[in-house]
Chain A
Amino acid sequence: MTMSSTQIWFLIGLIAIGTYLIRFSFFGLIGNRTFPAWVLRHLRYTPVAILPGLVAPLVLWPQATGGQPDAARLLAALVTIGLGTITRNILVSILGGAATLYTGLSVIG
């Protein structure tokens, strides 16, 4: 990371203020005013719209291998998604993915 300490603190401050304002938004309004339904509908999809896109390049082109696709990491990602979809348990999926990664790295790598 090439950021200076001041830049890091600045960024943390901005994210904190922005996040707080998002959280406070409707608690701050008087009465029961709210967004139009179509906006709320879109907001529901924010986590599924961002996180997969953030992860996809990290899974396909990991920096640790110089951007080359890596069998152990791909397999670990698939196991994590599979476990998460079936069990709906975040912890089980993380542990299963990590176990697959370490097994894969020790067998293949």
Chain B
Amino acid sequence: MSATTTKSVYRQGFRDGLPFLIVALPFGMLFGVVATEAGMTLAQTMGFSIAVIAGAAQFTALQLMQENAPVLIILATSLAVNLRMAMYSASLAPHLSNAPLWKRALAAYVLVDQVYAVSLARYDRPPELNTPQKYAYYFGVATPLVPMWYGATFLGARMGAGIPPEFALDFAVPITFLALVAPMLRTVAHLAAALTSVVLSLALAFLPLNLGLLIAALLAMVAGVQVELWMERKSK
């Protein structure tokens, strides 16, 4: 291990994380703006971004809060959005589990989509890294992203209440979510899951407590997997 020092690996991770600031800045600002417009205080908005650091779940909770859904439903739905992180955790564990508890605890806190994707891609590429270097790279990727999420939320929250209704901010959440989802529709299976979700959530919109969305999501996951399995069988 002469050429790659832990420090240089950290710097490499930092550089690889930088491009994602372009998304984190407007996305975080938008959360700050929309949360403030919805009536949350600056402290609550910041508390949300610092304690949760998960844009999609934060926007989901905010939307359901505005629809006056019950606390349990809001909790279940926004945690369901974050369930994908259990998969991230599972696929990173072989690389990161052999470390002291504080390091694993900190790594779990900053486990966001981009940190997961960039780090795992690096671990699968040569030259191979040892565990401390893997951590250095991982925290390198997270270093620019996480503070940017806080800062962007703060900026947005300060601007929030000053934005007039002509800007149709009610539509900021739908547009953001569609922009997040569209690039994920890579396969027929993903498309099937998305369509199932749309059709069922509209069809079940009459159900009380926003339960329709949870049921739609559950069946959409099953639809995605079934189509995936079916495509696999077909290609054999």
**A8–B183 alpha-carbon span in the complex (Å):** 32
Whether B221 and A46, one on each chain, are in contact in the complex, defined by CB atoms closer than 8 angstroms, is yes
Whether B81 and A2, one on each chain, are in contact in the complex, defined by CB atoms closer than 8 angstroms, is no
**A55–B80 alpha-carbon span in the complex (Å):** 15
**A11–B89 alpha-carbon span in the complex (Å):** 24
Whether A80 and B175, one on each chain, are in contact in the complex, defined by CB atoms closer than 8 angstroms, is yes
Answer yes or no: B141 CB below 8 A from chain A CBs.
no
Question: Which residues of chain B come closer than 8 Å to A44, judged between CB atoms?
Answer: 84, 87, 224
**A44–B113 alpha-carbon span in the complex (Å):** 12
Whether B41 and A46, one on each chain, are in contact in the complex, defined by CB atoms closer than 8 angstroms, is no
The residue in chain A whose Cβ has the minimal distance to the Cβ of B220 is A49
Question: Which residues of chain B come closer than 8 Å to A50, judged between CB atoms?
Answer: 60, 77, 80-81, 197, 213, 217, 220
Q: A34-B90, A43-B86, A48-B194 are in contact. Are A1 and B66 (CB under 8 A)?
A: yes
Sort chain B's interface into a size bin.
Answer: 35 or more
**A46–B131 alpha-carbon span in the complex (Å):** 30
B101-109, B146-154, B156-164: which lies at the A interface?
A: B101-109
B23, B60, B78, B83: which contacts A91 (Cβ < 8 A)?
A: B23
Whether B193 and A5, one on each chain, are in contact in the complex, defined by CB atoms closer than 8 angstroms, is no
Question: Which residues of chain A come closer than 8 Å to B221, judged between CB atoms?
Answer: 42, 45-46, 49
**A49–B82 alpha-carbon span in the complex (Å):** 12
The residue in chain A whose Cβ has the minimal distance to the Cβ of B196 is A49
A2, A8, A56, A85: which contacts B198 (Cβ < 8 A)?
A: A56
Whether A15 and B90, one on each chain, are in contact in the complex, defined by CB atoms closer than 8 angstroms, is no
Question: Which residues of chain B come closer than 8 Å to A105, judged between CB atoms?
Answer: 166, 168
Whether B90 and A25, one on each chain, are in contact in the complex, defined by CB atoms closer than 8 angstroms, is yes
Whether B170 and A55, one on each chain, are in contact in the complex, defined by CB atoms closer than 8 angstroms, is no
Answer yes or no: A64 CB below 8 A from chain B CBs.
yes
Q: Chain B contact residues: over half helix, strand or loop, or mixed?
A: helix
Most buried by B among A3, A19, A60, A64: A19
Whether A53 and B90, one on each chain, are in contact in the complex, defined by CB atoms closer than 8 angstroms, is no
B83, B108, B178, B183: which contacts A55 (Cβ < 8 A)?
A: B178
Whether A57 and B183, one on each chain, are in contact in the complex, defined by CB atoms closer than 8 angstroms, is no
Question: Which residues of chain B come closer than 8 Å to A42, judged between CB atoms?
Answer: 221-222, 224-225
Question: Which residues of chain B come closer than 8 Å to A1, judged between CB atoms?
Answer: 38-40, 65-66, 68
Answer yes or no: A107 CB below 8 A from chain B CBs.
no
Question: Which residues of chain B come closer than 8 Å to A94, judged between CB atoms?
Answer: 26, 175-176, 179
Most buried by B among A31, A55, A84, A88: A55
> Could you list 17 A-B pairs, sorted by A, with CB under 8 Å?
A3-B65, A5-B41, A11-B65, A11-B75, A14-B75, A15-B74, A19-B57, A27-B104, A42-B222, A46-B82, A47-B184, A48-B181, A48-B193, A84-B180, A85-B183, A91-B179, A98-B172
Known: A19-B79, A47-B180; 20 extra A-B contacts, CB below 8 A, are A8-B40, A8-B44, A9-B47, A11-B74, A12-B48, A15-B61, A18-B75, A20-B108, A22-B82, A22-B89, A26-B86, A29-B93, A45-B225, A48-B190, A59-B178, A73-B171, A90-B27, A93-B175, A93-B182, A97-B175
